[in-house]
Amino acid sequence: IHLRGRGEIALHLDLATSGVARRAFSLLRELGIRSEIRTYSRRAFDRATRYQLHVTGDEAALTMLVEAGVLDSRHAPLERPPKRVTGRVCCRGAYLRGALLGGGSLSGPRSPHLELRTTSLDGAKFLRSVAAVSDVTMGVLDRGRHAVAYAKGLDAIEAVLSAAGAGDTVLAFEERSVVAAARGEANRLANADHANLVRTSHAAQKQLEAVRALQASGALERLPDRLHEVARLRLRHPTLPLRELAARCDPPSTKASVHRRLKKIGELAGS
């Protein structure tokens, strides 16, 4: 809100997306308020485009701002709107929805975090109180040049979005969270499988070296039958895991038994 002197007021809505700017423009037009959308870059060489909705403070606009609780009856800016603005459930939902559209950010799904940015700490506290009436818990943080009301975690964020009437966003957010969780689990399992393969490969290589050492010394043929059988299987199948080696024994053995035999072969090769 810009106070130009001599009682003149202008309202500039600074928005991050064209969709929100068009939505605000349409709502103002439905109320008979004239406005103009302008674009700008926040910093030099910044490719991100910002949108400003310029509203001239004529009589219709001033009346609307007073009714919306942005200005008081003497056209002075209000830090908090009057109770009538957020007195009903639908009004509180609309107020939170406006805060989301005008100053909200949502990150996730790995570290879900929702913020509603305000110009002052008192404004952030008011948003928290509006949400609290609907049993929605939000935190408040003062960042110096601005403040935020925030929610962390899936449940808290979904509660804020639901209170704001953003049901489709809740569903989309849940879907992204499920997909991210599934992708994370798949990556974890893939990493675990890779680690297991590396360990198995290293172990098989050491077993093969032990068998070949016994073979080179002539001790392989003097091994007991069970040890000799496993040693020959390892020579024929250098990369097979223990479970599959055990299945090729005659009669079939167990993974633990094959592991003990190969461990014994390693001890004999090292002695």
DSSP string, 159-216: HHHHHTT-HHHHHHHHHHHHHHHHHHHHHHHHHHHHHHHHHHHHHHHHHHHHHHHHHH
Q: Using CA atoms, how far apart are residues 189 and 176, in angstroms rounded to an integer?
A: 20
Q: What angle do CA 147, 149, 151 make, to 5 degrees?
A: 140
- The Cα-based distances of 194 to 4, 66, 167, 197 in angstroms read 67, 65, 40, 5
Q: CB atoms < 10 A from the CB of 135, how many?
A: 8
Q: Residue 159 in contact with residue 136, Cβ under 8 Å?
A: yes
Radius of gyration of the chain (CA): 35
What is the average pLDDT across 185-199? 74
Q: What is the pLDDT of residue 67?
A: 87
- Give the pTM: 0.59
Flag whether pLDDT at 53 surpasses 90: no
CATH number of 1-78: 3.10.28
Tokens of 208: 């093969």
Give the tens place of pLDDT for each residue, 126-172: 999 999 998 999 999 998 889 999 999 888 888 888 888 876 776 67
Q: Which residues pair with 15 in a beta bridge?
A: 51
> In the chain, where does the domain assigned CATH 3.10.28.10 lie?
81-165
Q: Which residues pair with 141 in a beta bridge?
A: 148
CATH assignment of 81-165, among 3.10.28.10, 3.30.70.120, 3.50.50.60, 3.40.50.300: 3.10.28.10
Q: What is the pLDDT of residue 56?
A: 77
